[in-house]
Amino acid sequence: MFANYIKTTLLLGVLSAMLLCIGMLIDGTTGLTIALILAIIFNGVAYFYSDRLVLRMYKAQPLDKNRYAYVYKIMQELCDAMQLPMPKLWIIQAPMANAFATGRNPQNASVAVTSGILELLDKDELRGVLAHELAHVQNRDILISTIAAMMATAIGYLASMARYSLMFRSSSNNKRNNNVFVMLIVGILAPIAATIMQLAVSRSREYGADETGAYACHDPLALAAALEKLHDQTRQTTTQAQQAGYANIASLFIVNPLNAQTISTLFSTHPPLEKRIARLHQIHQKM
């Protein structure tokens, strides 16, 4: 898991460097200042408001303590074991079986589950899923992933500025800069590279949460069984997930709600399911 932390740090560092370099390329010191301001604004919004926006977007409601007392009991036991404060629990009325955690730190964390997941999983499997989500909270994954997403968005915005700046220079017949070709390449490739790195951060955090959650619930095989059930169920609900707009926060969920089959894992929000399950079986053998 330590390797995943190093990988995440490096990827965030590269995203930061890309953001500043594009700003510098557009207009020297002024462009660099714009890039810094954008980074501060985007990350500030992500830090304070991303959790509320996501929960409101999907009409999440507080999980009923009387009807779902067993969920609260499982969560409290996990929180005690992991020495975390109890997060707020939410439910999203949707047949798609899934779950996600959000919040900038353990003191402001929320865990949301869909009604579909409560119907699909048994208590041991649900315990594994909740342990995985608490692991995201413990490891500060939500904040890291949100910052990566916001930085990728800012890079895309600056890349667009670079392309428009290039067009403006051409249309005004000004003397071309020596870096026109570089700006063109950056304007086209930077958003793609930023997205790939953002997704790499997301995949890295999933591996870490699987491992932390497996040790926390003391049952890696239950989590593995839950992942397999959830993955199989997404094949039946992909269309519904698309209509509900789950693509916007696919990286937050424990499994990709769109059941995306990509040519390369570079463009996937989650690691391959087979690898996640294989790692959980390896953890079980070590325990």
Dihedral-angle region of residue 250 (phi above 0 means left; psi in -120 to 50 means alpha; beta otherwise) = alpha
- Residues designated catalytic: 133
Confidence at 151, pLDDT banded by 50, 70, 90: low
**Residue 157 pLDDT more than 70?**
no
Concatenated DSSP letters of 20-60: HHHHHHHHHHHHHHHHHHHHHHHHHHHHHHHHHHHHHHTT-
Alpha-carbon span 134 to 254, nearest angstrom: 11
Helices (H) and strands (E) in the chain, counts: 8, 4
Alpha-carbon span 42 to 197, nearest angstrom: 17
Task: Read off the pLDDT of residues 64-82 as tens digits, 9 standing for 90 and up.
Answer: 999 999 999 999 999 999 9
Alpha-carbon span 281 to 65, nearest angstrom: 33
Apex 100 CA angle, 95 and 105, nearest 5: 155
Do residues 38 and 18 make contact, with C-beta atoms less than 8 angstroms apart? no
**Lookup: tokens for 80:** 């005690």
**Tokens 């904040």 — which residue?**
143
Task: Read off the pLDDT of residues 87-97 as tens digits, 9 standing for 90 and up.
Answer: 999 999 988 89
Task: Read off the pLDDT of residues 220-249 as tens digits, 9 standing for 90 and up.
Answer: 999 999 999 998 888 776 666 655 555 556
- pTM for the model: 0.74
6 closest CA partner among 138, 204, 198, 140: 204
Domain membership of residue 148 as a residue range? 2-286
**Tokens 């899934």 — which residue?**
98
Task: Read off the pLDDT of residues 89-126 as tens digits, 9 standing for 90 and up.
Answer: 999 998 889 999 988 789 989 999 999 999 999 999 99
69-82 and 123-138 helices, crossing angle to 10°: 40
Task: Read off the pLDDT of residues 255-271 as tens digits, 9 standing for 90 and up.
Answer: 887 765 444 455 576 88
pLDDT for the residue 173:
45
Q: Structurally, how many domains does the chain consist of? A: 1
Task: Give the CA radius of gyration of the chain.
Answer: 21
Alpha-carbon span 77 to 83, nearest angstrom: 10
